[in-house]
Amino acid sequence: MLKRLQVILFALVIGIILFITREYWESWVVGGFSLFVSISAFFIAIVIFLENRNPSKTLTWLVVLGTLPVVGFFFYLLFGQNQRKSKSFKEKAIMDEQALYQIEGTKPVDESKLNEMGHHQRNLFKLAHKLANNPISFQTDTKVLTDGKETYAHIKQALKQAEDHIHMEYYIVRDDEIGREIKEILIEKAVNGVKVRFLYDAVGCWNLNKNYMKELNEAGVEAVPFSPVRFPVLTHKMNYRNHRKIIVVDTRYAFIGGLNIGDEYLGKNRYFGHWRDTHLLIKGEAIRSLQLIFLRDWYYATGKSVLKQHYLSPSHPARDLEGGVQMIASGPDTRWEILKKLFFAMITSAKKSIWIASPYFIPDEDILSALRIASLSGVDVRLLVPSRPDKRIVFYASRSYFPELLEAGMKIYEYNQGFMHSKVIIVDHEIASIGTANMDMRSFHLNFEANAFLYKTRSVESLVSDFIYDMEHSTIIRHELFQKRPLVQKVIESTSRLFSPLL
């Protein structure tokens, strides 16, 4: 009690001294801080200039630092640093490459199967294999899941059948009805001896009730945050997030796609209404590649290696199936911006059609030029986007790109049956990509993402059918009418676009 009183008295005395002398120290502190920030902003500008980044990114950062040095300084600390040069990510990249080469890199490519593919399909596969070192599988079955109800039904069924292990990796987890339902299944499985590992993004699950993961851990589930952020204002780690949504159950079932864990994905949010999303159920050989993505992330987050052989030996059909499946991971730990380069290759290789569904459409100059050129060349280019925003600055920045795309002949549809969250690209009705990556700069340059690439599989046909159905429940944007939108809206879009290299 005496010590506590002494501390209070000491703090009171210090407070009185600071109050009396405030006229002297306030100007010194404010002036010193302002000078420090200004000098720091100047040197940051030099660093950005010498890094030889994309010119639009460099210009954006220089404008922010020049016009708002104090805000720009802290904004750069949070979002601006080139984390691809980070020591921790470099180490992760090296370990990932070693693990991939050990497990997948030594496997020969089935040339006879490749010869059955078209020329541009072979080129895309070879590029994906060179960038990501993941093989294509012709012994994998996939099923497209078109909304939350269908996806969660399959996920819960697979989880309940688990006998050996469950590996889950998610960006967002909610402590709501579906979140608690999945939690109870995981707890039951862990209590019964199933090894359950749950990797969740620390920022994506920022608002998650702490008791949620505490209950999982107490039941024997290993629930671990990915890249935890203790002081968000003082660290750039907040900007590099794990956006992957992966489940592997006993190497018999796997899932990847756009749905996180939450009631809004079941259409229970009044604002969004029906949540239109796309997920993929996987059975067979390609599960090994998806398992490797999880195990490498797990090692990065925990320092524990669990590269056990039975985790990498999925059951798969005795005979080859129609088409190929390839799992690709991308992130700030990879040498190349893998998914962006593969999307670019898909667009430039198209002969007939390019159909894209993305809730967040903020292309960089490479993708934007590729889409314009494809459309001007007579390729049927279509874009499906939401008609209502969930992130307003991203929504308006997306719309700022519409005029030049519409002018090039591209068709843009706004989904009007709820919120469109699918992340799909379909080229020539033969090749498709489905997964966690949006058609935006954050997915290209900042986030840890994972996508499945499908080559002439039946699932591609399903994606085409779903896209046609979605277009029938959308409103096409007419160029001449879009040009007549209010001036205020144009200003908001243009202002939002200025920040697009930072989004």
Matching residue, tokens 């204002």 = 233
d(Cα 89, Cα 91) in Å, to the nearest integer? 5
Rounding to the nearest 10 degrees, give the CA dihedral for residues 460, 465, 471, 473. -130
Backbone torsion region of residue 429, taken as left when φ is above 0, otherwise alpha when ψ lies between -120 and 50, otherwise beta: left
Active site residues: 243, 245, 250, 421, 423, 428
Which residues neighbour 496 within 8 Å (Cβ) at sequence distance 6 or greater?
393, 394, 396, 397, 400
d(Cα 57, Cα 59) in Å, to the nearest integer? 5
Which residues neighbour 280 within 8 Å (Cβ) at sequence distance 6 or greater?
142, 143, 144, 145, 255, 256, 257, 434, 435, 452, 459
d(Cα 389, Cα 16) in Å, to the nearest integer? 50
d(Cα 57, Cα 214) in Å, to the nearest integer? 41
d(Cα 503, Cα 78) in Å, to the nearest integer? 12
Task: Let me know: does 282 contact 325? Beta carbons within 8 Å.
Answer: yes
Alpha-carbon separation of residue 55 from 210, 256, 500, 501 (angstroms): 42, 34, 13, 10
Instruction: Give me the phi and psi of 365, to 5 degrees please.
Output: -65, -35
What one-letter code names the amino acid at 97?
E
Which residues neighbour 491 within 8 Å (Cβ) at sequence distance 6 or greater?
none
d(Cα 185, Cα 195) in Å, to the nearest integer? 13
Structure tokens at 197: 């590992």
Task: Let me know: does 170 contact 316? Beta carbons within 8 Å.
Answer: no
d(Cα 336, Cα 371) in Å, to the nearest integer? 21
Helices (H), ranges, 192-302: 210-218, 287-302
Q: Determine the straight-line distance between the first and last CA of the chain, rounded to whole angstroms.
A: 52
Cα-Cα-Cα-Cα dihedral sign, residues 186, 191, 192, 195: positive
Task: Let me know: does 172 contact 206? Beta carbons within 8 Å.
Answer: no
Which residues is 432 bridged to in the sheet? 426, 454
Alpha-carbon separation of residue 188 from 152, 169, 400, 431 (angstroms): 17, 19, 49, 40
Helix (H) or strand (E) holding 498: helix 487-498
